[in-house]
Amino acid sequence: MTRVACIAGARPNFMKIKPVVDGLEALGVKVDLVHTGQHYDAAMSDVFFEDLGLRPPDVHLDVGAGTHAETTARVMVAFESWMGTNPVDAVVVVGDVNSTIACALVAAKAGAVVAHVEAGLRSRDWDMPEEINRVATDRVSDLLLAPSPDGVENLRAEGYHDDQIHLVGNVMIDSLLANVGRASAGGHLDELGLVAPFGLVTLHRPSNVDDLVVLAGLMSALAEISVGLPLVFPVHPRTRSKLESIDLPSSIRLLPPQGYLPFLALQSSARLVLTDSGGIQEETTALGVPCLTLRENTERPITVTEGTNRVVGTDPSAIVEAAREVLADPPEPRCPALWDGRAGERIADVLVERISDGSALRPTDDR
């Protein structure tokens, strides 16, 4: 029987790995669901398994928190130990977190087929740790599973073999489409005491929240926007302590981290989302909700060219101006091709076919 390890390590991974696990198991594949423990508390991890209906992991590596180097090293050591007694045909890694590159490196050295879901995404910003993880993971992968045509174009420009590259669609949207009805019907807004209209905010990137000058500027822009549109801000753990030194108006309501379904309900009901998250750029595109990305770049440009996203940077005046424009004239909803809820099935088909015929190719130096 074909045996595949599917890796999840941090909050964004859980929504991405669920459709892959379902697709593989529907084809009769033995799936080992490996949770590295990179996000280790219930608010950031366990609740997403519950909300998504994702079965408990077969393996929990319990690596916990640490620096980038510490986390990557712990995952590599723990995953290598597990693979030593659990040989698999392939390892599926998703996204761009430290667990992604760590398990990809171990699997490649062990001789397993490595499949990277969300391959080819590029911000071209080497100050982002995620960009380094993306590029390095693609380099050691056999199968490059791109969510959108720009990912395919990036991989081809970098010289990868055509038979490595597969345009499969977006697994995040698989999970969204499977759950948005439940989220909307779940009474989550009532439980939070929220009444529309409101805007939704998320901030977690170090470049935005670790620099208090940048964070204060962002919050001043949000305070001005909230005069006309109350804002709801589920606060990432890395951000909460930073906000203690900033005086916020009552029109910005801070919430604890939300589970997948409550957060999906917030997104789908919001008039505007302001974020620095890559995944939220995609989800708001699928939902048709206007999104302003508070970064200087995006690795998901299709959400701008074929979605509802605008990249506005971190200048407070530019953010306020963009918010006023979007609220006055919302973008028409648009959703990219293959963001149709079947990406997990396509990934499973590609992976099983390549394992069966043994033709997966890792990039070589003569690309």
Is 188:265 a contact under the CB 8 Å cutoff? yes
> Using the 8-state DSSP alphabet, how is residue 306 labeled?
S
Residues near 199 by Cβ (< 8 Å), separated by ≥ 6? 225, 226, 229, 230, 231, 232, 270, 271, 272, 273, 274, 323
> Which two three-digit tokens encode residue 161?
């073999």
CA distance 229 to 290: 14
* 197 preceded by a cis bond (ω within 30 of 0): yes
Is 31:43 a contact under the CB 8 Å cutoff? no
Residue with tokens 């979605």: 307
CA distance 165 to 304: 23
CA distance 13 to 311: 23
Strand 143-146 relative to strand 165-167, pairing: parallel
Helices 11-26 and 171-185 meet at what angle, rounded to 10? 100
Nearest to 186 by CA among 258, 237, 273, 282: 258
Which region, left, alpha or beta, applies to residue 118 given φ > 0 means left and ψ of -120 to 50 means alpha?
Answer: left
> Which two three-digit tokens encode residue 230?
């109350």
Q: What's the CA dihedral at 330, 336, 338, 342 to 10 degrees?
A: -30
Phi, psi of 268 (to 5 degrees): -70, -20
Whether 204 is catalytic is: yes
In 103-193, the DSSP E strands lie at 113-117, 143-146, 165-167
Helices 260-269 and 171-185 meet at what angle, rounded to 10? 80
Nearest to 135 by CA among 146, 149, 120: 120
Catalytic residue among 35, 68, 161, 204: 204
Residues marked as catalytic: 204
